[in-house]
Structure 1
């Protein structure tokens, strides 16, 4: 099943049991977890196409050092890390990479721009 996010078609790879959030693969490297209800109180950044009130972005990484490639861009585009989420971890959401980082606070347009940085 697919969903549009900021004009881009993404593949739904997971849904919460109650439909509170969807995990959407936008590319091999970029996955988002979007919520319709925002019961988790994430920073709100609505996307009209998907109906998400807010979302979190995940970037897949091949190595720990690859995170440095994205950190400056993330900070200059309003993104931030919460409690060590900027440190690469074993992948949970980006299935085609061994590691990922979790970014909060990006706008839908920033995520589209991020897709071009891959």
Structure 2
């Protein structure tokens, strides 16, 4: 199972999340989401999308997790709010792939910050 983190949970990050859950949940484990927005708002935006329609799952939050119940499966995903990607705990979390969807780290030099993080 490939361990995935999503950096930036805007429309692209959310649609990537949904695609992995809906079509590839046996291949990917979404371990963490990093976004500066509060967890309640992230959960609401995941559940209700004005372009793609509602998410067919239950979404709730704690202070440090986004919890999703979808298709008879339960997911507890670490919710982080770190502006500097070099400070993210990707190595400690055993992340294999980071989906960079903030729109800020748009070239290889900038995206290397995730490699520094582990």
Tell me the TM-score normalised to structure 2 length.
0.29
Which structure has more RCO (C-alpha within 8 Å, separation ≥ 6)? 2
Higher share of residues assigned helix: 2
TM-score, normalised relative to structure 1? 0.29
